[in-house]
Structure 1
Amino acid sequence: MTENAQQQPSAPATDLPTQYAPADVEGTLYERWVDKGYFAADAKSDKPAYTIVIPPPNVTGSLHLGHAFQHTLMDALTRRKRMQGYESLWLPGMDHAGIATQNKVEQQLAEEGKSRHDLGREEFVERVWQWKEEYGGKILGQMRRLGDGVDWSRERFTMDEGLSRAVQTIFKRLYDDELIYRAERIINWCPRCLTAISDIEVEHQEDSGELVSIRYGEGDDSVVVATTRAETMLGDTAVAVHPDDERYKHLVGKHIKLPLTDRTIPVVADTHVDPEFGTGAVKVTPAHDPNDFAIGQRHNLPSMTIMDDHGVITVHGPFLGQDRFEARSAVVGALRSQGRIVAEKRPYVHSVGHCSRCKTTVEPRLSMQWWVKVAPLAQAAGDAVRDGRVKIHPEDMSKRYFDWVDNMFDWCISRQLWWGHRIPVWYGPNGETVCVGPDEEPPGTEAEGWTQDTDVLDTWFSSGLWPFSTLGWPEQTEDLRKFYSTDVLLTGHDIIFFWVARMMMFGLYAMDGEVPFKTIALTGLVRDERGKKMSKSFGNVVDPLDWMDKYGSDALRFTLARGANPGTDVPIGEDWVQASRNFANKIWNATRFALMNGATVEGELPAAEKLSATDRWILARLNETVEQVDAYYEDFQFAKLSDALFHFAWDEVFDWYVELSKTTFQAGGEAAQVSQRVLGEVLDVTLRLLHPVIPFVTDTLWTTLTGGESLVIADWPKDSGFRDEAAEREIELVQRVVTEVRRFRADQGLQPGQRVPARLTLDGTALAPHEAAIRQLLRLQPEGEGFAATATLPVAGAEVALDLSGVIDVAAERKRLAKDLAAAEKEKAQATAKLGNEAFLAKAPDQVVEKIRGRLAKADEDIARIAAQLERLPRA
């Protein structure tokens, strides 16, 4: 089953401390892995490549549970592939996070009483680099704590020289192919961050505002429009109605007076207007609304920008210099005083966009920006999934992907920031525009009237190149040839739009149609144990380091993996992490027991005819588990594979095989030697199977058990094909007997360790060879003199007779059971009466009736169970 288990000498049991202390193991062990170069991938290797690039965390951040969740799964995938003989590369790195990082440094400057303008662009950017060096490594240290098996020699940063060259190269290519252009369009503007932000960086939430209806014009030549942004009327350049709306046909083509101004504006007919909504007339502000901008383009309307970068009104008049929200109230007040307000609705709850970085209300605004023409790129990104070159897992998430790439608008890529990749375009003294590639010199100097564009690129532009820029593109490096396309992109379903689609578009474009990854494995989001989103405002955010400090990194990893069903959110609570810590302790203690009882990996496994049924059973179950775990890995079913390993290790290996083998170990001889070798094999393979998810405790135990160098570079187990249905049926009978008698003992109030005289009639059954083990597991001592069976249990074709006289207080037990029986009979009578009441059944909801039927069924079960217990009790 494992290729090199027999090659390693067994180590002594004394190498293991009596208790597992994660803090004493994890840090030292991780640094040993790194120092040995286990995670370093070799581009010259003849092994098949397996590549995952890490979704680069922001340099501003720290490890949160979402990171820990996805990193655990990516680490498990790459560790397993490495053990399977692949040249496994998990490439780490960080994103420069333009807006977020600039905000951090600006906040730092504000504490010093300065702004970035006090420093100037060059000095401010240098200050950001200093901040990055000081604080940016925090998350990398936390990744080491978690056990991330990444190739640190290939760590990348989106502002590194090589990645910057990739950004400039692809910008130039897209520009030359007329897929990047500059145009004046409506964008989302953040008055706090003072930059454009893309649609997907706008968070919409329900805000309470005011809807006011305003009368424009006079008499029969008037029209009523409604708005939640009254201040924008100062920039209205038309009123629009539907061309078929009979109410307004007499107004189309006319001009009406715009209140509070000295302007008149036309009434235009446009099919965009819904005549059934509101009054059927809308105000048109082309410079401050995307739909209005489109109307303005169709009707050649002027666009009037009425506020500056900070959201302050710039139109001359009584509102000049007012903040947009201050002006909103002032405009409504002025309209009210003129009798122009027809109706007011307050509060009016509606969806309002907010900057995802600083939560400021976004302002739609006409602005000259740089754009990517996405139509051909998005078409290619959609086709790659449709024709099967890229698989999305789970498959039902494909719809969300197609909804985005099939309906994508051109992408605004310019940001009015100083931190980021500066747009490589120069403007000349005579209106020239020149895009400069990475090996080209600027067309002229500032002294000659040439200036570079002051904007930087959207962070997602550079991170969209991540799968190939990190491997050395645009150079044709060994890394690029070996490790591209990457195999799996594992990421949250929440950034399909931000990142996944961008990488698909750029990867296909830059790499001549070669996909950036073969599989997109989408995960859910981590939530608290009640399924609630984790948020500082909810007070339920957990620092994963706290749980790792308290329970160990393996415990956190196993908890996260055990909740990872594809595409669905993952609830997590501290109790579950504690339970995973208990599992790690169980593995530790069971391995110590095995070593103290001679478990070994030395030599070949004995031939099948030398194995007991117990040995054959556990080896069959071991191979079935290998097969099952492999299938789950290929389907990204981390929860199922973790659960399968948990139950195999705890239930079958530790609770059954180890316990069933104790009598064999105690007896000694050849049978004990066989079981020692089988137990060594089972532990060896089980630790290998568990290693990708819980690497620290498994590596420590495995090296002690086998004397091997490290599980990181050990072979992944293979299913040998060994199965033994007869042995499985035989052990199932043993389990039935033990389980049934244990249940009876518990029903009689016996303590687990309390010994009871018993006679086992097993002759002629498959249970006969297991009598010693059954007695030990059930604490059943030999019959002895004076044995008198007071209870007899027929089970699995055998008979277990127990002498409970002197072991339990029969009178007290009869009294307790009689009381329970009376309660069950009362419950049955009440439920029967309700279900026999026709009036009740006619009025009661279906779920209430079903609940009462369930109570009746439960009462019947309880009555039968208690009656059987009373029947089995010794007679007084």
Structure 2
Amino acid sequence: MTETLPHQARADLPPQWTPAEVEGDLYERWVERGYFTADADSDRPPYTIVIPPPNVTGTLHMGHALDHTLIDVLTRRRRMQGYEVLWLPGMDHAGIATQNVVERELAKEGKSRHDLGREAFVERVWQWKAEYGGKILGQMRRLGDGVDWSRERFTMDEGLSRAVQTIFKKLFDDGLIYRAERIINWCPRCRTALSDIEVDHSDDDGELISIRYGEGDRSIVVATTRAETMLGDTAVAVHPDDERYQHLIGTEVELPLTGRHIPIVADPHVDPEFGTGAVKVTPAHDPNDFEIGQRHDLPALTIMDERGVITAHGPFEGLDRFEARPAVVAALRQQGRIVAEKRPYTHAVGHCSRCDTVVEPRLSMQWWVKVESLARAASEAVRDGRTSIHPPELARRYFDWVDDMHDWCISRQLWWGHRIPVWYGPNGEVVCVGPDEEPPGGEGWQQDPDVLDTWFSSGLWPFSTLGWPDRTRDLERFYPTSVLVTGYDILFFWVVRMMLFGLYAMDGEQPFHDVFLHGLIRDAAGKKMSKSKGNVIDPLDWLDRYGADALRFTLARGANPGADMALAEEWAAGSRNFCTKLWNASRFALMNGATVARPVPARDRLTDADRWILDRLDETVSEVDGLFEAYQFGRACDALYHFTWDEFCDWYLELAKVQIAGGGERAEATRAVLGHLLDALLRLLHPVVPFVTEVLWTTLTSGESLVIAEWPARRGAERDGTAARRIAGVQKLVTEIRRFRSDQGLKPGQRVAARLSGLGEADLAGHEGAVRTLVRLDAPADGFTGSASLEIGLPGGTVTVELDLSGAIDVAAERRRLTKDLAAAEKELAGCEAKLANPRFTDKAPADVVAKIRGRRETALADIERIKARLAALPGA
């Protein structure tokens, strides 16, 4: 604010908001006072959210910051509304990611995990976790996460490990876990199966080789990007209705380089429009080929080992897969089998998300969850409304997955993780051991060497963290959880798995009532962030430069259900400016006696401005409540932003200055209204910007903390339409006069004499003093003569404003400025018209570009007309 009116000044607030000096100590105070610790024995309604557990290897990235901000907004608001809130924190052991980190550390010592052995290696990982793991937990404190640190969990702590073993045993005994040989994603570098989410797909340059199998009219041509896999072909497949190959279906053809004969089969999976319409079938090295092999009872020949090295007997044995590829092509070329070669050939290739190695589909013996009945239950829970998905349009994607879900591969060939609780006996015995059972003893018994997929343990998160399989007080009180907040990108990988396990383990009780799915964060141009592109935004950098509140407000304001967010630094700067605006406005109000000690007077003792802003506060409370209930974070923050900046700061505070300056009963009423407004506004903003609001509110009210303050409610008074109409009139008058002053070349603070006519007819006679103060207009003296005037139409009538500009402006300087502006506008017009007159531009340029030039032309025309009118109005023109 630019001026302070005389009153009892308060020195409680420093001149500037400096988040770095406040946030850390303030957060620790909240934690020490136990504000975030949930009481399972309270009689308040429960509200529970479990944190999407970040990897123990992780640091805070923008996706985490968005997740945590939105959850904190929800939980802080519910706490203020009187709920017993539990926001439960924790971390995921992140099997493959953590193992890779520790293996890299060992490599620096010239060692591998095999040098240490399994037991010593796992101990080394625990040591790493104790020393370096969980950096993100400290960063969560910087962001302001109101989590219950007393209930922090880890997916491999004793309680959660017991839950994992319990549900594995239950699923095994119910026939829902089995072991079978199937195609999986395999990383030859990490030497483990991968889940689909651990595979990153990119468009890579490769080659497409067309190979002729057989001779003469009995031959058939297939195309492949992986020529080396032909060594494992056990058939060629064509579409049953493809007339080109009817005479070959049921016959055999010789597989080049091997001497083997393989059948030509008919399968509806084949697309006759793609390539030659004939495909090679390698059941052990392609998921689609595996399915074809199953349908036609084809053998599956594994032709490479876990390292990606060729094992098929012959000249290629011992070659790495990428060495074997050109060798196989060369051998085929020598035999005259290459029909066509296309290089480069761009196609989608899967890479291990941890080490970027090209993933190899591989037939492997693995453990699986039979999902049919579990998925059916997960589908029904959403269809019957026990769980609601927000936004609703993403429910279709959920159903697409659960209604057509394939059995889930849960075993990983790692050492770090929950080891599969199955023992094999010397005579082929298989025993699954529960958490309270002793494993079988005696010679020859061995535990399965594999560990469970990380998603298996994180799928138990909503109930294992509350004490399951025991019926704990926490489990009874806080399950089902209230809402899950996460990105839509892991709807299948994590959300669906929690639904499967929650309904199964908790006797049909869903793990959460609501699922809120937000979008992904992208750069300012809408592109996916990646280190290789150099467009990654580090939230820690923004925390350092702008503060936690600014980062949180930026993320929450950009969060729309299911939609991606394009993030630019100017957003963060704008959010910092918003916090500064709130600080300055509150400081002004406090220094001018804003108080909550006195009640707001009866409405008949309030001014139009008071009644209008109180009504707008009521409307904002209702609007924000409805939007938060619908998970419309972005729209709720927009409503708060515009009420705070546009209405409270830009208008009511300016009008309040006038009312306070007048003194007396009206000034005291204004101070009470200011205090009430600020109290409610800071409560409304607290869930999104908790630090700055806490400092301001405790200063205003001397209350203990906003964290435990009540959420604001509507006052319930009937809206005063007359006050709203009058204030709208004042706003239009002030805006138009300010614009006119600017057009006349007056400086913002320059006072001039003016006559205002027609205020009575417009029902604004009582606001003349406020209007004059806000637009720097002095009352006219005797003999006043206006040299410039404007008319402002209002619903009740027209107000005429006459200003005396004699001596108020430097006419010569103003003419020079306007002449320069006119030349620039005419140059802009000429450039636009030249482009629009050129058919090569209008016919070939994108429609939006042409429309933009047309818009610039219209703006230039309007500017020229305005500047000419101003020049004509200058004295002596």
TM-score, structure 2 length as denominator?
Answer: 0.94
Q: Deviation of residue 859 (structure 1)?
A: 5.4
Q: Secondary structure at the match of 1:536?
A: coil
Q: Secondary structure at the match of 2:200?
A: strand
Instruction: Say how many residue pairs are matched.
Output: 864
> Does 69-78 or 861-870 show the bigger shift?
861-870
Match of 1:87 in 2: 84
Q: Deviation of residue 264 (structure 1)?
A: 2.9
> Does 74-83 or 240-249 show the bigger shift?
240-249
Give distance in 2, aligned partners of 1:652 and 1:75. 27
Match of 1:392 in 2: 389
Answering whether residue 34 of structure 2 is matched by residue 37 of structure 1, we say: yes
> CA contact under 8 A between 1:791 and 1:873: conserved in structure 2?
no
Answering whether residue 791 of structure 2 is matched by residue 794 of structure 1, we say: yes
Answering whether residue 306 of structure 2 is matched by residue 309 of structure 1, we say: yes
Give distance in 2, aligned partners of 1:804 and 1:301. 97
Q: Deviation of residue 128 (structure 1)?
A: 0.8
Match of 2:807 in 1: 806
Give distance in 2, aligned partners of 1:255 and 1:108. 53
Aligned equivalent of 1:585, options 534, 559, 580: 580
- Structure 2 matches for 1:628-777, cutoff 5 A? 628-722=623-717, 723-761=719-757, 762-763=759-760, 765-777=762-774
Q: Deviation of residue 214 (structure 1)?
A: 1.8
> CA contact under 8 A between 1:804 and 1:874: conserved in structure 2?
no
**What CA deviation, in whole Å up to 9, does each residue of 1:790-836 have, x standing for no partner?**
11223243332211100113355456556766876898899999999
> Does 800-809 or 691-700 show the bigger shift?
800-809
Match of 1:188 in 2: 185
Match of 2:421 in 1: 424
Match of 2:371 in 1: 374
The change in CA–CA distance for 1:856 and 1:304 in structure 2 (over 3 A counts) is closer
Match of 2:520 in 1: 525
> CA contact under 8 A between 1:790 and 1:875: conserved in structure 2?
no
Match of 2:224 in 1: 227
The one-letter amino acid paired with 1:179 is L
The one-letter amino acid paired with 1:726 is T
The change in CA–CA distance for 1:847 and 1:323 in structure 2 (over 3 A counts) is closer
Identical amino acids, percent of aligned pairs = 72
Q: Deviation of residue 238 (structure 1)?
A: 2.6
The one-letter amino acid paired with 2:487 is G
> CA contact under 8 A between 1:12 and 1:704: conserved in structure 2?
no
Match of 1:237 in 2: 234
Answering whether residue 571 of structure 2 is matched by residue 576 of structure 1, we say: yes
Give distance in 1, aligned partners of 2:852 and 2:108. 63
> CA contact under 8 A between 1:661 and 1:773: conserved in structure 2?
no
Aligned equivalent of 2:355, options 352, 355, 358: 358
Give distance in 1, aligned partners of 2:290 and 2:65. 44
Match of 2:467 in 1: 472
Answering whether residue 134 of structure 2 is matched by residue 137 of structure 1, we say: yes
Q: Deviation of residue 766 (structure 1)?
A: 3.1
Q: Deviation of residue 51 (structure 1)?
A: 1.0
- Structure 2 matches for 1:109-508, cutoff 5 A? 109-245=106-242, 247-442=244-439, 444-445=440-441, 447-508=442-503
**What CA deviation, in whole Å up to 9, does each residue of 1:112-141 have, x standing for no partner?**
111111111111111111111111221000
**What CA deviation, in whole Å up to 9, does each residue of 1:309-332 have, x standing for no partner?**
100111222111110010011111
Give distance in 1, aligned partners of 2:103 and 2:842. 69
**What CA deviation, in whole Å up to 9, does each residue of 1:529-566 have, x standing for no partner?**
22221111111112211111111111111111111111
The answer for unaligned runs of 5 or more in structure 2 is 1-7
Q: Deviation of residue 266 (structure 1)?
A: 3.2
> CA contact under 8 A between 1:791 and 1:874: conserved in structure 2?
no
**What CA deviation, in whole Å up to 9, does each residue of 1:327-365 have, x standing for no partner?**
011111111112222221111111222222222111111
> Does 681-690 or 543-552 show the bigger shift?
543-552
The one-letter amino acid paired with 1:83 is M
Give distance in 1, aligned partners of 2:553 and 2:100. 36
> CA contact under 8 A between 2:57 and 2:134: conserved in structure 1?
no
Match of 1:626 in 2: 621
Q: Deviation of residue 875 (structure 1)?
A: 5.7
> Does 27-36 or 641-650 show the bigger shift?
641-650
The CA RMSD over aligned residues, in Å, is: 2.5
Aligned equivalent of 2:607, options 587, 609, 612: 612
> Does 617-626 or 796-805 show the bigger shift?
796-805
Answering whether residue 95 of structure 2 is matched by residue 98 of structure 1, we say: yes
Give distance in 2, aligned partners of 1:520 and 1:603. 43
**What CA deviation, in whole Å up to 9, does each residue of 1:481-505 have, x standing for no partner?**
1111111111111111111111111
The change in CA–CA distance for 1:216 and 1:21 in structure 2 (over 3 A counts) is same
Give distance in 2, aligned partners of 1:448 and 1:41. 50
> CA contact under 8 A between 2:518 and 2:561: conserved in structure 1?
yes
Q: Secondary structure at the match of 1:538?
A: coil
Match of 1:5 in 2: none
**What CA deviation, in whole Å up to 9, does each residue of 1:152-195 have, x standing for no partner?**
11111111111111111111111111111110111111101100
Q: Deviation of residue 241 (structure 1)?
A: 3.5
**What CA deviation, in whole Å up to 9, does each residue of 1:819-864 have, x standing for no partner?**
7668768988999999999999999997788667646654564455
Q: Deviation of residue 786 (structure 1)?
A: 5.7
The change in CA–CA distance for 1:298 and 1:564 in structure 2 (over 3 A counts) is closer
The answer for unaligned runs of 5 or more in structure 1 is 1-10
> Does 275-284 or 198-207 show the bigger shift?
275-284
> CA contact under 8 A between 1:290 and 1:364: conserved in structure 2?
yes
Q: Secondary structure at the match of 1:188?
A: strand
> CA contact under 8 A between 2:9 and 2:593: conserved in structure 1?
no
Q: Secondary structure at the match of 2:754?
A: strand
Quick one: higher RCO (CA 8 Å, sep 6+), 1 or 2? 1
The change in CA–CA distance for 1:345 and 1:864 in structure 2 (over 3 A counts) is closer
> Does 261-270 or 385-394 show the bigger shift?
261-270
> CA contact under 8 A between 2:553 and 2:689: conserved in structure 1?
yes
Aligned equivalent of 1:57, options 54, 57, 78: 54
Give distance in 2, aligned partners of 1:824 and 1:591. 42
> CA contact under 8 A between 1:159 and 1:420: conserved in structure 2?
yes
Q: Deviation of residue 765 (structure 1)?
A: 4.4
